[in-house]
Amino acid sequence: MSLRKAVLAVALQAAGLASAAALPEPVTTSLQKRADVDCGTWTMYCNGTPNGGQPAYEACNNACYFINNIRGGDYTATYRTDGNGAGAADNARNRHQSGCNLDSTHGGSNSICRLMSISQKLGDEVDDVTCDEFPMADWIQDDFPAGGVNELGDARNSLRCISRSQNSAAGGQFGSFRDNVGSGLDGRTCQGAMNAPNTDYHFKIAFNTDGAPGGELQYCDGIPSNELDFREFFMTELQNGGNGENNFPANWDLDNHYAVANQDGWQEVEQCHVDVLRTSGDNYDATMFNVDNAQLATKAAPLNNDGDHLQLDPTGGFAHLFIVRTGQMGQAGTVGSRVDFKYRVNTDLSSSAPLIDFDWTTESTGYDTRYTAARVSGGYCKVDDIQENEDGDSQEMTCYFPCPQVPA
């Protein structure tokens, strides 16, 4: 019997009441202080762990960009368990707050790397693409900034479209560090697995680049790195009550906003579309629209020879759009010749500005299949068959594409 029970028993018996022996122990409501444990450094092995694991170049690049460019070289991660061996971080919520995953995509994938316009700009050329976020979704993180991202340092996460194998390799390496197993534990200072309840495990991140091919890890070389590959991006505005949304066609008022990183910060990726009518004699008539369906430019001209192009010069800070002939239109009842498109900062098509530029054709396809009117599944363009009319043959096509504005 506890001291409290004994005292109560004496008092109750003196008062002629029943024994306190059956009274329950009092419920304590004091909060247990959370312990902080320094686990030293998690080393990411960018070329694979010493026992021959899969390389994780792209995941390393993403982590290096966040630490070196967004945080200026200063970042400490925190991992916490729920007391039952699982991470306490709300993994799904973190993925929404990072912008990697979205709840509302209206028939599309839940990964931004498989949704226009980010998929076109950054994801469609990657095999089995996934969205990699850093910091990792398993770690404790603040909410996305309520006012959105206004400065580079405000970015909650850096994002990168990478292959599933490299994404899994990085996740597996952290799992080994967390559980204190495997061969890639250089720098780890805490004992045992990170699974104690009411405990925050803190650690820095280092990068082992031994054996990595040259040019694969430019973001790991300096603070900050200015050797940008224009594949890093991050979310600047979170919609749908914090759960994320992406529509096709894009709805700028409802959709998450994303930006591709450049030397001075970032440039938001908008969605534009172009309507093209070509008629007998290879006459081309094109009109470009912004995400709000406002007309930006229109022009018509004959394109008599392969390689000839029609140049649209839109208003509102957008780059030039070139429609390039690759062959004669073709016969009625067929799709006709391919048409090439080039969204370019410079009118000299031999030069390149990768932050803004985007090239595609009427035959281009990607992961996003929501453009159901497209000629083929995943197509960027709706291309009608050539129609025979009294005034000659004609063909209509509409293409959607990413159109970042040109920095002032």
Q: Which residue has the tokens 């534009």?
A: 272
Q: 341-361: per-residue pLDDT in tens? A: 999 999 999 988 999 999 999
pLDDT in the model for residue 50: 82
Residue 408 lies in a domain: no
- What is the domain extent for residue 298? 271-402
pLDDT in the model for residue 51: 76
pLDDT in the model for residue 3: 38
pLDDT in the model for residue 118: 98
Residue 407 lies in a domain: no
What's the total number of domains in the chain? 3
Same domain? 292 vs 397: yes
Q: 326-339: per-residue pLDDT in tens? A: 999 999 999 999 99
Cross-strand pairs, 310: 323
Cα(264)–Cα(155) distance, integer angstroms:
14
Question: CB within 8 A of 7, min separation 6: which ones?
Answer: none
Residues of the chain where predicted confidence (pLDDT) is lower than 50: 1-30
Same domain? 102 vs 215: yes
35-45, strands of its sheet edge to edge: 35-45, 199-208, 77-80
Same domain? 254 vs 183: yes
Same domain? 23 vs 170: no
Tokens of 264: 């001075």
pLDDT in the model for residue 135: 98
Q: 377-400: per-residue pLDDT in tens? A: 999 999 999 999 988 999 999 999
pLDDT in the model for residue 85: 64
Cα(16)–Cα(168) distance, integer angstroms:
70
Same domain? 9 vs 73: no
